[in-house]
Structure 1
Amino acid sequence: MTGRMPLQPDESKIVQILVVEDERVIARDIKACLENLGYAVPAIASSGIEAIEKAKAFHPDVVLMDIRLEGEMDGIQAAQQIWQDLHIPVIYSTGHSDHATVERAMATEPFGYILKPIKEQDLYVTLKTALKRYQSEAKTIASSLVNAQTLPTADTLESPDGPLSLNSKFYIEQASVEAQVYAEISKPGSLVCIKASRKMGKSSLLLRIGHYATRLYYSSIAINFQEADTTCFESLDKFLRWFCLRVTCQLKLKPQLDASWDDILGSKISCTSYFETYLLEQLHHPVVLLIDEIHCVFKYPTIAQEFLSLLRIWYEKARYIQAWQKLRLVIFHSAEIHIPLNVEQSPFNVGLSLKLPEFTPEQIQELAWRYGLDWSHGDAITALMQMVGGHPYLVHLALYHLAQQPDSTLKQVLQTAPTANGIYHPYLQSYWDCLQDR
């Protein structure tokens, strides 16, 4: 689990069952059977990745999961992630009862296991048993989480000034965004552009996308353009050589730039050839290339326009060249910094474009709980949002300060927050400096 308080089943509402089945006829029959038993089916998923996406979107009471699924993630892998991330009980359904399959499934400690063809009475008993077990375990799990998280100590607090670690209990999942990204990077030759204002959580999300890619057995590469020396931007040729070398090193391959580079053909064609005939050729699985702080290139308009058009070209090549289908691009860019681009050469208007949202009041309440604060009455949330909206970093910073200094009140913190001695002064100063640089 990631620190989410498990939801105890509400017996007064209709139980929601997410059906995961890649055979349409069977899925339709299961849905009809469940509805006949008085359950609701909010969605049907046909792949492991889609199952995770729909579990996050609908948060059902139970997932009825087929083990053998289309795609790169089977039902057991999907069930493990759904339980880990969302703490939703899973019941396996399968036509395979061989020893190896059963042993692998049982190792994940599911809440039930039912063989196909599914009989209505068997399904009813299995669901009732699973729900009863989950209901009895939910109180124990919730109590354990409260004891572990209600009173964070100085050692367990994590500064919001940098990316939140993968196991951070202070990371608030942006389920709709993450589900879309995870689904998109599973598609051959995909391109995702994620736009966000400063300190909206781009770096924390980048970590999680990279981690998710490795769980799919993809390679994951993160390129941060802040790492590049100023001299790397002296020419397009030098910049693209630096870029190729960084990717090569992260893939742990031997650099062979000279074999692909041709001064007459030019650096863009040379860079493309290096990727296509060497880097991608060496890989036997997809690679997710995460590009962060791309706005650093915008200071050099000529390089920026050529590089961004190159990314667009690579995306389009994936339509007809198989090697490029291995490459999955994820670009993080700033909402405050823009560069004029020809719409036919820009990577920002193709593929999947997303914008990181602010926290909702419910997410702020959840985060406050993780900091050991009881904000269930809502007044504190309203007061904080009147000043900072749902800006993730500014919300985190206020809660972090209150957890560090339990004698302080939110009212006291907000009174001084925007002043020279307040907690928001460094952020406001850096934002002002950024505006002046423009």
Structure 2
Amino acid sequence: MRSWATPSVPSLPGVGAIPTLYDTATGDARPTDVTNGAQLYVCGITPYDATHLGHANTYLAFDTLNRVWRDAGVEVAYAQNTTDVDDPLLERAAATNVDWRELAESQTDLFRSDMQHLRVIPPDHYIAVTDMVSPIGEAVAVLLEAGFAYRVETLDSSAGDDVYFDVDRAARDTSWHLGIESRLDAATMMHFFSERGGDPDRIGKRNELDPLLWRSARDGEPSWPGAAGSGRPGWHIECTVIARDHLTLPLSVQGGGSDLVFPHHEMSAGHATALTGEPFASHYAHAGMVAYQGEKMSKSLGNLVKVSELIASEIDPRAIRLALLSHHYRSDWEWFDDDVYGAIARLSHWAEWAAGAVAGTASTSLLDGLRAALADDLDTPAAVALVETAVQSGATPTTVDVDAVDALLGIPLR
């Protein structure tokens, strides 16, 4: 599946440092492992509504990581999925009387446009789940054969058996176990599992927290023939197989929003370890949640500030990016409608500063400062503050200073 156009990224003198990144699994910040090059997997959208600023906040965080790795001379392999068949998508399609495939295609196109406007470097592998159903089904069959999965009878006479992952068997026979990445207690796991797509009350499951691997075909739902029977994939196994088949495991970083820590990322890691015998990722990194009108921005609540709508109102996409990067990627924060106007004013001052740049080829104190700030757990607020200080100082910038803002923060000023 196509992604979107790659923005130009200026070359800078010298190289930056390998970034240190906070790891959810260990609770501390440490250097990212790029032994096999940087292997980055970031969970993509379920395309049933437009990109909101919470999504954009996550993808800008990992775009910053991508830029910092590249500036350090690291070869980056980046994969991202789009979950173009799933219950929320099917429900929205039914509610709006739109074919689910048309809804997925239109919203994926809008996402591509949003990412291109925000100058996000596209993934090397942008993969639709519907293009991976066969290998996902084969992986589920492997887990069944190895005893890490089991079938559960359905009450629907039109359906076959669903397939579930056995978390207790995986904990006994692999290095993975519940809590290995999330570090959550049992009660919190149960709360999030119920809230985020799990079915703890499903009769026939061995453990309430066992996640669905394969949903057998039901009348009126899309399904595909597969090694595990006719049906469609569960949520977590999709990302496992896409990452396994398009990147080198263990991943350097498994990334996404903090609402994916459990169950999605933890279960994806469990599936991967059961399939390969190896850890899924060296680092688990998560962006914070963005609130609006006092609540976390979410499709279910409808309190969305959409990137496409801001752009349609003639807001400069660079200002949207600057407003988001002014917050640390791991923080939870609230968006206010006037935030973007403060960013527009700041962007105007930065552009005036950049217009007076003189030619330069050598590293500068601003470039060194930006590299240090971003290598320290992607501290974009510190980086923004450094640029602001340089602008306010009245000193004439060099073209290297201006290029550094573009290459590392993704904000072109010329």
Q: TM-score, normalised by structure 2?
A: 0.26
Q: TM-score, normalised by structure 1?
A: 0.25
Structure with greater Cα Rg: 1
Higher RCO, 1 vs 2 (CA within 8 Å, ≥6 residues apart): 2
Q: Determine which structure has the larger helix proportion and give its number.
A: 1
